[in-house]
Amino acid sequence: MSRPVKLRCVGQLPSAGFFRPVGIPANALQEVCLSVEEAESIRLKDLEGLEQEECAGRMHVSRPTFHRVLEVARKKLADALINGKAIQIEGGNFGLPQSRFRCNNDGHEWNVPFETLARGLPLSCPACSSLNIQPMPLPPFGWGRGRGGRFRGGRRW
């Protein structure tokens, strides 16, 4: 049995999902792609100024893992800034501190805490025990691009 990919907890989604430099023709424009959890590492460490230990705790990962994620994120941002590349934020393996789920059987809605999702157990509807449930869509970000799914390639909860 393969180990499920470990989810990282993301406390706040970015307000925009696509950034591009002015003055670079579209056919010459390259882009870097940041996962949502990489953006979160920048937010916690560089914007909120938290210690790495604290950042790691917030994202429910070990300190070395947090450090790795942060280094990758910073490198991508530096590459975009210096080499004039666009930045796309999408995808990844993350969950919110609370995710809202909906039952397709009886329409019941409820919140699931991150810790429950991270344990990877199958979830069922607390009202009717149906397994026919799905996560509610995340609030949209990344307007102005229209290139398909906002969380392409990533789990949505």
- Contacts with Zn ion by CB under 5 A lie at 103, 105-106, 108, 125, 127-128, 130
- The Cα–Cα gap between 104 and 125 comes to 9
Give the residue from 37, 48, 39, 42 showing the smallest Cα distance to 9: 37
| Least distance (Å) between residue 102 CB and Zn ion | 9
Please provide the distance, in angstroms rounded to a whole number, between the alpha carbons at the two ends of the chain. Answer: 22
* Closest to Zn ion by CB, 22 or 121: 121
The distance of closest approach from Cβ of residue 117 to Zn ion in the complex, given in angstroms and rounded to an integer, is: 18
Give dist(CA 102, CA 37) in Å, integer.
24
Comparing CB distances to Zn ion, the nearer of 63 and 102 is 102
Tell me how far, at minimum, the Cβ of 83 lies from Zn ion, in Å: 50
Query: Using alpha carbons only, how large is the chain's radius of gyration in Å?
Result: 17
Tell me how far, at minimum, the Cβ of 111 lies from Zn ion, in Å.
Answer: 14
Identify which of residues 48 and 106 has a Cβ nearer to Zn ion in the complex. 106
To Zn ion, the closest distance from the beta carbon of 122 in angstroms equals 14
Q: How many CB atoms lie within 10 A of CB 118?
A: 15
In the complex with Zn ion, which residue's Cβ is closer, 106 or 115? 106
Measured from the CB atom, the residue of 20 and 108 that comes closer to Zn ion is 108
Which residues, including other chains, have CB under 8 Å from residue 126's CB and lie 6 or more apart?
108, 110
β-pairing, 109-113 vs 98-103, is antiparallel
